[in-house]
Amino acid sequence: MVLSRRVTVLDALVRDIEAEVAAQTDAGGVVLTTSFSKEDQVLTWAVAESGAEVDVVSLDTGFLFPATVETWKQSEAHFGLKVRSLKPDEEAVTGLGELERIYEGVDARKQCCSVRKIQPLRKALSGKGAWLTGLRRAQSPNRASMEKREHDANWDIVKVHPLLEWDDATLDAVVSATGVPVNPLYKMGYPSIGCAPCTRPVLPHENARAGRWWWEQSSKECGLHRG
């Protein structure tokens, strides 16, 4: 990407964040959920650059890869901000039983995602006006019909996807230009990184989400976003 276009893309992104935060000042504020993906790192960069007040949160499911935990630490130091950790309810986790149940059926797997991801996130989004995400159309066919700014009836919140139209080349150029910390698992064939027991590397011909819950024929979503 040439320098002038790169500057335009980055300026537009920071302005998008500032405008969203200004629009939500009296409506509960803005949350950014990060899994420390390249997309989320770019959004966190834009939040830090703008100085706008955004609640940056991450789901600490108890099953993050060590490399992701390390990227989390590096990111807080790099961006100079705290990423609020959302942990599951301990009693509910005990009620899930053995982790291996997730491989026995989609219902058991979704129950684990519900306890470790959905319920903690629901608390974090409660009362907030807008939710920033790093979703892109190019990631999966399930994301092809999304709008950049849309009301999510399931969560009753406005979801904003500033990077929705970005292709892989744009993302990589911006990651390089901004120098954000990158999870080393990308270089090991993981284009989409979730919990360790549920994520494998993908083959060259597979889409980015193919390594998530690879044993299922599901929509490859955990309930945070529509499949």
User: Judged by CB under 6 A, does residue 101 bind ligand SF4?
Assistant: no
Member of 163, 198, 202, 224 binding ligand SF4 (CB under 6 A)? 198
Residues 38 and 224: their CA atoms lie apart, in Å, by 18
Member of 63, 67, 124, 216 binding ligand SF4 (CB under 6 A)? 63
Which among 41-49, 120-128, 145-153, 194-202 is the span making contact with ligand SF4, rule CB under 6 A? 194-202
Q: Which is nearer to ligand SF4, 115 or 175 (CB)?
A: 115
Q: Which is nearer to ligand SF4, 105 or 127 (CB)?
A: 105
Backbone φ and ψ of 147, nearest 5°: -105, 155
User: How many residues belong to the site for ligand SF4 (CB under 6 A)?
Assistant: 13
Residue 113 CB, shortest distance to ligand SF4, in Å, is 4
Residue number, nearest CB to ligand SF4: 195
User: Judged by CB under 6 A, does residue 102 bind ligand SF4?
Assistant: yes
Member of 149, 177, 178, 197 binding ligand SF4 (CB under 6 A)? 197
Member of 121, 130, 195, 202 binding ligand SF4 (CB under 6 A)? 195
User: Judged by CB under 6 A, does residue 118 bind ligand SF4?
Assistant: no
User: Judged by CB under 6 A, does residue 21 bind ligand SF4?
Assistant: no
Indicate which residue of 112, 195, 198, 222 is catalytic.
222
Determine whether 222 is an active site residue: yes
Residues 123 and 63: their CA atoms lie apart, in Å, by 20
**CB under 8 Å, gap of 24 or more: what pairs does 46-52 form?**
46/10, 46/13, 46/14, 46/16, 46/17, 46/162, 47/17, 47/79, 47/81, 47/132, 48/79, 48/80, 48/81, 49/14, 50/14, 50/17, 50/18, 50/21, 52/17, 52/18, 52/21, 52/22
Nearby residues of 34 by Cβ (< 8 Å), 6 or more positions away:
40, 41, 43, 44, 56, 57, 58, 75, 83, 134
Catalytic residues: 222
